[in-house]
Amino acid sequence: MIFRVAGKSVKIDETLVKEKKRRIESDVKKYLEGEKISFDYNLDLKGLTIFQQEVLGAMRKIKYGEKVSYGRLAIRSGYPLADRAVGSVCNKNPLPIIIPCHRVVAKNSIGGYALGEDVKRHLLRMEGSL
């Protein structure tokens, strides 16, 4: 499933979400229109490593409008020295927006984003955290 954000295509692998496609599309559209949506779906992340699952699980708990550093997310995931590895998990996130990797930032900047920093800035501004 593909959505347009800040002029770019954002792909979400809906096969990992145990919800009806129509609900996912509706929720993501509402979110992109500025509505606060809780993407509390049941996910199937069995194909990922335990480390990736734990990082993505901790990332899902980052609240709308909140930003967390890569180092802080590493601590929250139970891997306090793995901030670079956490960045790699963010970069490979199969469910951007649903698992809010855009809320993970560098200590002194917004950090990178697989979909482009302009998309990350757009999402952070939309949530009021930039």
- Active-site residue among 56, 59, 68, 101? 101
Catalytic site residue 101?
yes
Q: Which residues pair with 3 in a beta bridge?
A: 10
Instruction: Give buried/exposed letters for 51-90 (b at 16+ CB in 10 A, else e).
Output: bbbbbbebbbebeeeebbbbbbbbbbbebeebbebbbebb
For residue 67, which of 8, 125, 22, 7 has the smallest C-alpha distance? 125
Coil, strand or helix: which one is 118?
Answer: helix
Active site residues: 101
